[in-house]
Amino acid sequence: MVFFVGIAGSGKSTLVSALYNWMDEQGYDVAVVNLDPAAEYLPYVPDVDIRERINARKIMRQFKLGPNASIIASVDMAVADADRIKEEMGAIGAPVALVDTPGQMELFAFRESGSYLVKRLSDTHNVVVYVATPHTCRARRVSPLRPSSPSPAGSGSSCRRWWPSTR
Ligand SMILES: Nc1nc2c(ncn2[C@@H]2O[C@H](COP(=O)(O)OP(=O)(O)OP(=O)(O)O)[C@@H](O)[C@H]2O)c(=O)[nH]1
Ligand SMILES: [Mg+2]
């Protein structure tokens, strides 16, 4: 099992999709699992999808929670579904599963539910991929109010910008 973790918007789902397509083309038997209960769009079709049972948007409305709290609550609730998710993964029978996770990394870093889910779903061979961005890798500070160009020229990395150009 390969778990992809990283801060919000770091490119986890994109990487899962690209790696899935590449492995599929190479003839590997691979499954893809979505553990993000808040994803409205995914760039791949998941074989196992937490959203079939747990929907963060509904939980937000039902329990009057904010967007982050609803994801935390959703993953807590998913713990009860861990066996079912594991069974679904087993039924697919692929020796490799790529697991996409929500952007709230604290779920996996600080909360028991995240680490329980990972342990419960894990197989004999597991890898955790931390998806880093140029922003989180850079040593120098970036002002959140006026970010500079996201990637130094020639660094080989780039990141989509959502803020208007300041030039
Ligand atoms: N330039 C560039 N953009 C990327 C790359 N990877 C992802 N993106 C873009 O970054 C945005 C966020 O990518 P996602 O794959 O949704 O990121 P995520 O980590 O799954 O996001 P959350 O699930 O919301 O935490 C999308 O618009 C992607 O097209 C990359 O390597 N380079
Ligand atoms: Mg994602």
Is 140 inside a domain boundary? no
Is 96 inside a domain boundary? yes
- What pLDDT sits at residue 92? 92
- In angstroms, the CA 146 to CA 164 distance is 10
pLDDT at residue 22 tops 60: yes
- In angstroms, the CA 49 to CA 85 distance is 8
Ligand 1 atom nearest residue 9's Cα: 21
Task: Using most ligand atoms within 8 A of CB, pick from 14, 15, 70 the residue to mutate for ligand 1.
Answer: 14
Q: At 81, which CATH number? A: 3.40.50.300
Which residues have CB under 8 Å from 126's CB, separation 6+? 1, 2, 3, 118
pLDDT at residue 152 tops 90: no
pLDDT band at 18 (very low <50, low <70, confident <90, very high): very high
Task: Please state, in angstroms and as integers, the Cα–Cα distance from residue 151 to each residue in 9, 12, 139, following that order.
Answer: 16, 18, 12
Task: Average the pLDDT over 34-60 and give the result.
Answer: 94
Q: Is the CB of 14 under 6 A from ligand 1?
A: yes
96 forms beta bridges with 30
Ligand 1 atom nearest residue 39's Cα: 23
- In angstroms, the CA 3 to CA 14 distance is 14
Task: Please state, in angstroms and as integers, the Cα–Cα distance from residue 15 to each residue in 87, 90, 97, 132, following that order.
Answer: 25, 23, 13, 11
Is 116 inside a domain boundary? yes
Q: Whose CA is nearest to atom 12 of ligand 1?
A: 9
The candidate with the shortest Cα–Cα distance to 117, out of 36, 13, 60, is 36
Ligand 1 atom nearest residue 14's Cα: 15
Is 25 inside a domain boundary? yes
Q: At what angle do helices 56-63 and 67-78 cross, to 10 degrees?
A: 110
Domain range for residue 69?
Answer: 2-132
pLDDT at residue 151 tops 70: no
Provide the domain count of the chain. 1
Task: Average the pLDDT over 4-31 and give the result.
Answer: 95
Is 157 inside a domain boundary? no
Q: Whose CA is nearest to atom 27 of ligand 1?
A: 160
Q: Whose CA is nearest to atom 1 of ligand 1?
A: 159
- What pLDDT sits at residue 153? 42
Is 144 inside a domain boundary? no
Q: Is the CB of 37 under 6 A from ligand 1?
A: no
- What pLDDT sits at residue 166? 52
Is 121 inside a domain boundary? yes
Q: Is the CB of 104 under 6 A from ligand 1?
A: no
Is 164 inside a domain boundary? no
How does 27-45 read in b/e, with b if 16+ C-beta sit within 10 Å? eeebbbbbbbbbbeebebe
